[in-house]
A and B are shown apart, each in its own frame.
Chain A
């Protein structure tokens, strides 16, 4: 799916939300959720191609051992951000904060092997 199709879908979704806001307000949230989920999968699909390209390019560089961890963290960050935005648009601020904290914890947990390697390097140096 190209950006043009994605933008078209966005305009349709906004039109649907505007129409539904007049007749049945509760359905607007469902439309927004559907659009966010669809958009998320589209972005993930595009990002995975970019990630595969990046992994292929850095395969022989010194950054190669760490790139998969960083990509995982980026994916988690995108997921957390989208969920958080969705919660905010649904008016659930508390839920959004909880998602934020969980996403942060998960990203830091993903980065723990890097911290461990850094500590090993520091120990070796000292």
Chain B
């Protein structure tokens, strides 16, 4: 016993005599993180085969500047790239309308109705062609945006399904993956094979209507209903697919049912109502994404989706401005044309907005499933 006491006393004495220095406390530094990332990028670049290096963006081997100021600089440069062409488009539209109005004044000096009509035809054809040269690129932009978003959603769903299957939730992976893949594929084909050709047909109709002084408003309204109906039908189809899948696999996985309920409740507001009905769900989805990956996730979604939406909205505004100027200058045919082109662009903007919102919902549903399953 005495021996034990003596050993403990010696041990305590040794411990108490050891000096502790504050400078030896190790702190964690984040300074080298971007450097490490950049070194890794450089190493990856050097190990790549020569033919693949040319496919990478310029400066990849030197790494990237990941600071907030650099990100803000890039975002503002991108915004300028979007805003300036739209302003230029508005200015060009006004210029065309001014030139057309000069020619119309020439036409007004004529007394012969036949000659006036023929001259109006030529002036209108020229102005329609010029407006078309400027505005048809918008449909291409929207198409590329939707295509890239659908590709991203497909890639995301495949990865999430694989992660879920690997973590043992094979039923959840197959059922949820199937439902969402159906929606993405439906969206992609609906936009590429139905909505986009329909919008192009509307533009052609608008041009024909302006040339022949025929109002095509009734046809455009019909097409508007068709677009709304098809979007609603897609929402219903998605709900049905998810619902059926949920019943089949409910016995296997209860968490899956929760995800499905969340998914259905997210998409139901689309059916028969406008986007305003889904604002609450959008807020929930954004909150879900923020909780899972932080504010950076929301920033990335904004960077991904805002340029295309902003581009469309600004072009819509330019057309609205052009329509007002045409009305002021007394160019009736150009006013009708711009009014109808504006309606078509409103469809495109609505559809692109819906697809963006679906993308946000899908992200939140995927994150919800993964968090629930513990894969993230």
A complexed with B: yes
Q: A9 contacts the other chain (Cβ, under 8 Å)? A: no
B interface residues, how many (CB within 8 angstroms)? 38
CB contacts (< 8 Å) of B99 on chain A: these are 54, 58, 61, 63, 67
Determine the distance from Cα of A104 to Cα of B118 in the docked complex, in whole angstroms: 6
**Which residues on the B side are within 8 Å of A66 (C-beta)?**
125-126, 129-130
* Known A54-B99, A108-B122, A118-B207; 14 more pairs at CB < 8 Å: A62-B130, A63-B96, A63-B130, A66-B126, A74-B107, A74-B119, A78-B110, A84-B115, A101-B114, A107-B119, A114-B122, A118-B125, A121-B132, A126-B201
Determine the chain B residues whose CB is within 8 A of the CB of A73 once the complex forms: 118-119, 122-123
Which of these, B95, B116, B122, B136, contacts A63 with CB under 8 Å? B95
A70-B107 Cα distance, complex, nearest whole Å: 11
Give the most central of A74, A100, A125: most B CB within 10 Å.
A125
Shortest Cβ gap from A79 to chain B (Å): 10
B67 CB-CB contact with A under 8 Å: no
Question: Is B207 a contact partner of A81 (Cβ separation < 8 A)?
Answer: no
Is A61 in contact with B119, judged by CB distance below 8 angstroms? no
A63-B99, A67-B126, A77-B107 are contacts. A103–B115 as well, Cβ < 8 Å? Answer: yes
In this complex, which of A77, A78, A118, A124 has the most chain B Cβ atoms within 10 angstroms of its Cβ? A77
Tell me if B's interface is mostly helix, strand, loop or mixed: helix
Knowing A54-B99, A81-B110, A81-B112 are in contact, say whether A125-B121 is a contact too (CB < 8 A): no
A69-B126 contact given A61-B96, A81-B112, CB 8 Å threshold:
yes
A62 → chain B, closest Cβ, in Å? 5
Looking at chain A's contact residues, the main secondary structure is helix
Q: Interface residue count for A (Cβ, 8 Å)?
A: 34
- Please state if B92 and A61 are interface contacts (CB–CB under 8 Å): yes
Question: Is B111 interfacial (CB 8 A cutoff)?
Answer: yes
- Cα(A84)–Cα(B110), bound, Å: 11
Which one of B96, B118, B200 contacts A107 once the chains associate, using CB atoms below 8 Å? B118
Q: Are B133 and A114 in contact (CB under 8 A)?
A: no
User: Does B280 touch A at the CB level, under 8 Å?
Assistant: no
In angstroms, how far is the closest chain A Cβ from the Cβ of B287?
41
In order of increasing CB-CB distance, the 4 nearest A-B pairs are A111-B122, A66-B126, A107-B118, A114-B125
User: 5 A-B contacts, Cβ less than 8 Å apart?
Assistant: A77-B106, A103-B115, A107-B122, A111-B118, A125-B136
Asked if A52 CB lies within 8 Å of chain B CBs, one says: no
Complex contact A121–B136 (CB within 8 A): yes
Please name all residues of chain A whose beta carbon is closer than 8 Å to the beta carbon of B197 when the two chains form the complex: 126
User: Contact between A111 and B125 (Cβ–Cβ < 8 Å)?
Assistant: yes
Q: Measured between C-beta atoms, what is the minimum distance from A126 to chain B in Å?
A: 5
Pair B129/A117 contact, Cβ less than 8 Å: yes
Answer whether residue B75 sits at the interface, using C-beta atoms and an 8 A cutoff: no
List of B residues within 8 angstroms of A38 by Cβ = none
A22 and B92 alpha carbons, distance in the complex (Å): 58
Q: Which of A54, A62, A100, A121 contacts B115 (CB 8 A)?
A: A100
